[in-house]
Structure 1
Amino acid sequence: MPAKDIYHNEVKNALLKDGWTITADPYFIKYEDAELYADLAAEKPIAAQRQGQKIVVEIKTFVGRSLMYDFHGALGQYMVYRNLIQLTEPEYKLYLAIDDVVYQNFFQRKSIQLITNENKLCLMVVEMEKEEIMQWIN
């Protein structure tokens, strides 16, 4: 079992506050010879007659030796998880959960915006102290 991220509980609580039900903690990804764990899976009912939304959330803190180094790792992990989830459970959408401060100070850079757009990175921006989702970026 992988270690939980520093902001694991804050992101989980933010999802719960926003009306999501946590369905897996962690979320197991299995494909052929690959066995991986994303941080969370959640589901949110939209309406009684329609199927709800299902998401997988990978949480990243960006507290390593540099923001760019952490971004490299997060992007690679995101792409691997997204590809395997699309093959195994395509009804789930993968989000990278990040702190709102990292979003404002790093993800607003033109180079990072270009990379996130080109790679169709979905972000969940969370205000960690308040445990609130500030923004969903698809």
Structure 2
Amino acid sequence: MPAKDIYHDAVKNALIKDGWIITADPYPIKYAEVKLFADLAGEKTIAASRQGQQIVIEIKSFISRSPMRDFETALGQYLIYKALLTIDYPEQKLYLAIGQKVYEDFFQQVAIKFILEKYQVSLLIIDLQQEEIIQWIN
């Protein structure tokens, strides 16, 4: 089992505050001989349609001295998880959860925005102190 990210509980609490039910912590992703773990999975019933929305969350803290290196690792992990989820669970939406400060300080760079758009990375921006969702970016 992988170690939890330092912001794991803050992200989990923000999702719960927003009405999500955590269905897995961590969430196993299996294909052939590969077994990986995303940080969380959640579900939310949408009253109008009575259908549940399902998400998988990969949490990244970006606390090393090199945010670019952290980004390279996070992007690689995100793309692997996204590809494997499409095999058996195409209805699940994958999000990369990051803190608001990292989003404002690093993810607003032109090159980073280009990469996010190119690879269709969905983000979940969290206020880590208040444990609240700031923004969903698809």
Q: Is the partner of 1:87 in helix, strand or coil?
A: helix
Structure 2 unaligned regions, length at least 5: none
Counterpart of 2:31 in structure 1 is: 31
Aligned equivalents of 1:49, 1:64: Cα separation in 2: 43
CA RMSD of aligned residues (A): 0.9
Amino acid at match of 1:41: A
Deviates more, 1:87-96 or 1:128-137: 87-96
Counterpart of 1:134 in structure 2 is: 134
Aligned counterparts, 1:1-138, within 5 A: 1-47=1-47, 49-138=49-138
Aligned equivalents of 1:2, 1:35: Cα separation in 2: 11
Shift of 1:65: 2.9
Shift of 1:78: 0.1
Shift of 1:50: 3.0
Q: Is the partner of 2:80 in helix, strand or coil?
A: helix
Amino acid at match of 1:6: I
Aligned equivalents of 1:37, 1:64: Cα separation in 2: 21
Q: Deviations along 1:101-126, whole A, 9 cap, x unmatched?
A: 00000000000000000000000000
Provide the TM-score with structure 2 as the length reference: 0.98
Q: Is the partner of 1:70 in helix, strand or coil?
A: helix
Q: Deviations along 1:45-89, whole A, 9 cap, x unmatched?
A: 002643111000000000123000000000000000000011121
Amino acid at match of 2:116: T
Provide the TM-score with structure 1 as the length reference: 0.98
Deviates more, 1:49-58 or 1:65-74: 49-58
Paired-residue identity, %: 59
Q: How many residues of Structure 1 are paired with residues of Structure 2 in the alignment?
A: 138
Amino acid at match of 1:135: Q
Runs of 4+ in 1 over 3 A off after TM superposition: none
Aligned equivalents of 1:91, 1:111: Cα separation in 2: 29
